[in-house]
Amino acid sequence: MSDAAQPTAAEVRAAAEAVKTALNRHLAAVERRSGEDDPAVYDAFNQLAAAAEAYDELLYDRYDEVTPFEIPGADDSLPPYDGPEEPSALSVLIRRDYAVAEPQRLMAQARRVEAADEEGHGAAASGTVHGALGLLFGEFEPDEIASRHKEFGLEEGDSTLWVTASDEPAEPGEWLEAPFEQVDPQRVVCRFDVSAVFDDEFDDDLEDEEEEDEEEELDAVLDGDADGDLDTDEDGESGRLEVDRRGS
């Protein structure tokens, strides 16, 4: 960044003061909270996160330094539910991501759909990836594609499902032009996310637990040895002690 585009020292200091103000506001909101999902605490948290992020960016741009802490963004979690207690309608929002891992397999499946189409609708569309996708998603339900994605040359990515509550059903055709534009996060009843990120975290936790178990197992064995608790055979000779140190 050029010197002309750098923030001034006064701007950095003002951003630091904004963080202090937001921090005090957040503490005051927490002290006055009316319940676990108090919206005032949520708003104060978001303001603190925004102030900290702005200060961090200015500090880096001006002095090439960063803050020693990180506040998770407001998008990492949903706000408190503020929808109807007894919703009379609901919307299910689904997003599933795929990678086209095997284009030839994808187009081969599309050619089978074309061959079975006696009226010849969509003929020759299978010759391109985007045409093949249109054929397959027009022929099969999304849930069937999700369960058979490997057959279609697709590789699963992240997916999410949100259930939102509303007071009454939408009018026919009301939201079709922009189906996800007016989603109110405070009306989300529940959500279900699937991501390889969670698998990685689970694997890391599992490895940590296994290592802890092995350490405890070894400690117990060593304690038993020190106390003279080793198994003995009929002749009174000590049995051989083996410790499985998997991964060592």
Q: What is the model's pLDDT at position 82? A: 83
Average pLDDT over residues 6-33: 93
**pLDDT, tens digit, 9 for 90 and up, residues 159-201:** 999 999 998 998 999 999 888 887 888 888 888 888 887 766 5
From 155, 113, 115, select the one nearest 136 (Cα to Cα). Answer: 113
Ranking 83-92, 157-166, 209-218 by mean pLDDT, the lowest is 209-218
End-to-end CA distance of the chain: 48
Q: What is the model's pLDDT at position 214? A: 67
Q: What is the model's pLDDT at position 104? A: 94
Q: What is the model's pLDDT at position 241? A: 34
Q: What is the model's pLDDT at position 223? A: 61
Residue 119: band (very low, low, confident or very high) from pLDDT cuts 50, 70, 90: low
pLDDT > 70 in the chain, percent:
72
pLDDT > 90 in the chain, percent:
39
Model confidence at 153: pLDDT above 80: yes
Cβ within 8 Å of residue 197, ≥6 positions away? 158
pLDDT, the chain, mean: 79
177 or 207, which is more confident: 177
Model confidence at 247: pLDDT above 60: no
The DSSP letter of residue 131 is H
Q: Where are the domains of the chain?
A: 3-76, 89-194, 195-248
What's the CA gap between 113 and 104, in Å, rounded? 14
Average pLDDT over residues 58-70: 86
What's the CA gap between 23 and 3, in Å, rounded? 31
Q: What is the model's pLDDT at position 72? A: 53
What's the CA gap between 238 and 241, in Å, rounded? 9
Residue 42: band (very low, low, confident or very high) from pLDDT cuts 50, 70, 90: confident
Structure tokens at 23: 């921090």
Ranking 44-48, 71-75, 212-216, 242-246 by mean pLDDT, the lowest is 242-246
Structure tokens at 53: 């992020």
Q: Per mean pLDDT, which of 46-50, 138-142, 241-245 is the most reliable?
A: 138-142
Neighbours of 160 (CB within 10 A): 14
